[in-house]
Amino acid sequence: MNFLLKFSSIAVCLSELLNTRFVTKESFSTPIGRALANIIAYHNSGRYEERDYELARLSMLVKHLKEIKEYNESLLNYFRRKVNRNDVSYYGFRFEVAICSSLIRKEVPFVKRESPDFEISYTGEKIYIETVSVHITSSKLRDLKIKIKDAILRKSKKSYCKPNTALFVDATNIFYHNLARSRPFL
């Protein structure tokens, strides 16, 4: 019963925070909807470790979205518009939400922008943060470092790539696939 309480709480919170309902077939075709459906499938097939991992991931997303809502409802509305565009942008969305909530928790005053993602005033100067998430769906690629290098190279060609802009790279998916293949990441 503990699982059902956690699951329903997360589903209700996501519905409220993202102003969406997970009731139609289409709503379960979105990245978050599929994650919710996967949690139920994992539970029903006895794959409890995968179920709990997905629950934890969505629980962190709820925590971050709540922090953003408490900080600024308009900022939450911005993220609501970005959430379910497609699978590729979903991972970037989650990373951007995590960075945003981290700035809020650390009481770093910032302005949410599009490119680069965040503007921070520091000792009278403006500094910027651009975020990127590197993700693969299968580990067929031989050298996973190429994905990280490609993301950095792609971002380095942007007009905002200057000494006052930091690039935050989410490579957790790449590290996961590398560990699954038992390879050192050098």
Render pLDDT for 8-65 as a digit per residue (tens, 0 to 9): 999 999 999 998 877 667 777 788 888 999 999 999 999 999 999 999 999 999 999 9
Give CA–CA dist 172/170, Å, rounded: 6
Mean pLDDT of 96-116: 96
Could you say which DSSP state residue 24 is in?
A: S
Question: Two tokens at 74?
Answer: 């308009």
- pLDDT for 95: 94
Give me the chain's average pLDDT, please: 88
Give me the residue label for tokens 């949410």: 112
Mean pLDDT of 141-167: 88
- What are the beta bridge partners of residue 122? 125
Q: Find out whether the peptide bond into 31 is cis, omega within 30 degrees of 0.
A: no
pLDDT value at 106 more than 60: yes
pLDDT value at 185 more than 60: no
Are 51 and 3 in contact by the 8 Å Cβ rule? The answer is yes
Give CA–CA dist 186/170, Å, rounded: 17
- pLDDT for 97: 96
Mean pLDDT of 71-79: 95
Could you say which DSSP state residue 26 is in?
A: G
- pLDDT for 47: 96
Are 118 and 128 in contact by the 8 Å Cβ rule? The answer is yes
- What are the beta bridge partners of residue 129? 118, 166
Q: How far is CA 178 from CA 54, 97, 125, 133, 184, in A?
A: 20, 25, 39, 16, 7
- pLDDT for 135: 82
pTM of the model: 0.88
- pLDDT for 183: 62
